[in-house]
């Protein structure tokens, strides 16, 4: 299968429009020792005919334009993008759906609760269903593997295993609605597998790692993992206030309970951090933090990467 990294930053991108942290400031001065990044977005295909997006981020329009694989091929109105798999209702993960509203048939996979959150509580998403041959919403049942199919129902050579990770719904969810939604349908990790058994995991928002999850990750060839924050109190240190990484649903990269340490025993998968916040010091490729992740066998996802499994 072909995997394309369309974007690799956390929400806000890098640089972030209203941020003047050290990293963002050095980018604007043109002297940052590292790469700029758009917001996290993965695309995957088994046949280079039908592509599936994992989430739909707010930078999607520009990301599609710089990716020839995703350009129209046949006819005046057409797209190789066959579907979108939503793993949560976070804005950074769903706003791009609104950019795909041009009456194109598209299958959208989401848990029933995320569908209710988007379609019943946020009227703008009705733009995806103005005509009958448009978004075809399809249920994801947590922990039940399903085949990825085009809106016409054609199997595309990939299957997806959705792992329930957290009961936390996005901050914009009204409290009484969150209480109505199924706790296991809030946030999923996605494992994508092709017909040859090649597997990769996409987990850009992880609050903890237990032994069961470690076993699952060891069964993959490639892991995209939450690289949002280096430290738990990163934003508080920079801004003087705010939430910890843990409070925002992210395990930090460093420290005893961080991902470098917790995932150190993984042997099989190639390990790549994605969803990297603009404040994270490991973005600076001259930093001690960048050296540390490299020594531990990790890479930082970059926009435009193509990976063949
Ligand atoms: Zn910044």
pLDDT tens for 81-139 read 999 999 999 999 999 999 999 999 999 999 999 999 999 999 999 999 999 989 999 99
Residue 151's pLDDT is what? 85
Given strand 41-45, what is the order of strands in its sheet? Answer: 135-139, 106-110, 81-85, 51-54, 41-45, 2-7, 306-308
Angle in degrees, CA 22, 9, 73, rounded to 5: 140
* Structure confidence by residue, pLDDT tens digits, 24-64: 999 999 999 999 999 999 999 999 999 999 999 999 999 99
Distance of CA 104 from the midpoint of ligand 1 (Å)? 36
| pLDDT tier at 302, thresholds 50, 70, 90 | very high
Assess contact for 255 and 261: CB atoms under 8 A. yes
Q: Which tokens belong to 66?
A: 């710089």
36 alpha carbon – ligand 1 mean position (Å):
11
Given a cut of 90, whether residue 224 has pLDDT beyond it is yes
Given a contact cutoff of 8 angstroms between Cβ atoms, the answer to whether 182 and 141 are in contact is no
CA distances (Å), origin 86, targets 109, 173, 206, 264, 271: 6, 16, 15, 28, 22
pLDDT on residue 35: 98
Measure 27 CA to ligand 1 centroid, in angstroms: 9
Note the pLDDT of residue 108: 98
**pLDDT attached to residue 152:** 87
Tell how far the Cα of 299 is from the centroid of ligand 1, in angstroms: 21
- Residue 292 pLDDT > 90: yes
Residue 43 has a pLDDT of: 98
Query: Distance from the CA of 175 to the center of ligand 1, in angstroms?
Result: 31
Ligand 1 mean position, distance from CA 15 (Å): 6
SS3 content of the chain, % helix, strand, coil (to 5): 30, 25, 45
- How far from chain centre, in Å, is Cα 284? 22
Q: Cα of 26 to ligand 1 centre, how many Å? A: 9
Q: What DSSP string runs through 27-65?
A: HHHT--SS--B-B-EEEEESSSSSEEEES--TTHHHHHH
100 Cα: distance to centroid of ligand 1 (angstroms)? 28
Q: List strands edge to edge, sheet with 155-166.
A: 146-149, 155-166, 187-194, 199-203, 222-226, 270-274, 298-300
How much is the average pLDDT of 153-173? 95
SS3 100: helix
**Sequence-ordered strand ranges (E) for the chain:** 2-7, 41-45, 51-54, 81-85, 106-110, 135-139, 146-149, 155-166, 187-194, 199-203, 222-226, 270-274, 298-300, 306-308
- The span from the CA of 191 to the CA of 202, in Å, is 6
Q: Using the mean position of ligand 1's atoms as its centre, give its distance from the Cα of residue 20 in Å.
A: 5
Whether 75 shows a pLDDT value over 90: the answer reads no
Q: How far is the CA of 286 from the centre of ligand 1 (A)?
A: 17
CA of 23 to the centre of ligand 1 (A): 6
Rounded to the nearest integer, the mean pLDDT of the chain is 96
pTM above 0.95, yes or no: yes
Residue 240 confidence class, pLDDT cut points 50, 70, 90 = confident
pLDDT exceeds cutoff 90 at 241: no
- The alpha carbon of 261 and the centre of ligand 1 are apart by a number of angstroms equal to 25
Give the largest CA-CA distance in the chain. Answer: 54
In the structure encoding, which two tokens stand for residue 170, read together? 């996005």
Distance CA 100, CA 286 (A): 38
197 backbone φψ class: left, alpha, beta (φ>0; ψ -120 to 50):
left
- Positive or negative, the CA dihedral 42, 45, 49, 50 is negative
Surrounding ion ligand 1 within 5 Å at CB are 19, 21, 24, 278
Identify the bridge partners of residue 138 per DSSP, sorted by sequence position. 109
Average pLDDT on 69-82 reads 93
pLDDT digit string, tens, across residues 255-289: 999 999 999 999 999 999 999 999 999 999 999 99
């Amino acid at each position: 299968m072909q995997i394309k990294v369309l974007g690799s930053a956390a929400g806000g991108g890098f640089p972030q429009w209203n941020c003047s942290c050290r990293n963002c400031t050095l980018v604007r001065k043109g002297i940052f020792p590292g790469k700029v990044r758009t917001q996290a977005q993965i695309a995957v295909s088994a046949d280079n005919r039908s592509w599936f997006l994992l989430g739909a981020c707010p930078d999607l329009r520009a990301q599609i334009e710089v990716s020839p694989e995703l350009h129209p091929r046949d006819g005046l109105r057409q797209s190789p993008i066959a579907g979108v798999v939503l793993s949560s209702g976070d804005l950074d993960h769903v706003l791009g759906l609104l950019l795909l509203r041009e009456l194109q048939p598209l299958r959208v996979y989401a848990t029933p609760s995320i569908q209710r959150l988007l379609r019943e509580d946020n009227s703008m998403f009705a733009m995806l269903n103005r005509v009958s041959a448009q978004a075809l919403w399809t249920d994801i049942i947590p922990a039940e593997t399903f085949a990825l199919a085009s809106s016409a129902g054609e199997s595309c050579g990939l299957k997806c295993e959705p792992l329930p990770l957290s009961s936390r719904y996005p901050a914009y969810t009204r409290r009484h609605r969150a209480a109505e939604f199924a706790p296991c349908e809030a946030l999923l990790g996605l494992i994508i597998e092709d017909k040859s058994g090649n597997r990769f995991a996409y987990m850009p928002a992880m609050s903890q790692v237990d032994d069961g999850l470690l076993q699952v990750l060891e069964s993959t060839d490639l892991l995209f993992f939450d690289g949002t924050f280096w430290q738990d109190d990163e934003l508080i240190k920079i801004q003087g206030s705010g939430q910890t990484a843990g409070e925002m649903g992210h395990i930090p990269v460093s420290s005893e309970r961080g991902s470098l340490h917790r995932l150190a025993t993984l042997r099989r998968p190639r390990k790549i951090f994605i969803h990297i916040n603009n404040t994270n010091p490991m973005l600076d490729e001259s930093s001690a933090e960048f050296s540390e992740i490299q020594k531990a066998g990790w890479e930082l996802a970059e926009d435009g990467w193509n990976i063949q499994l």
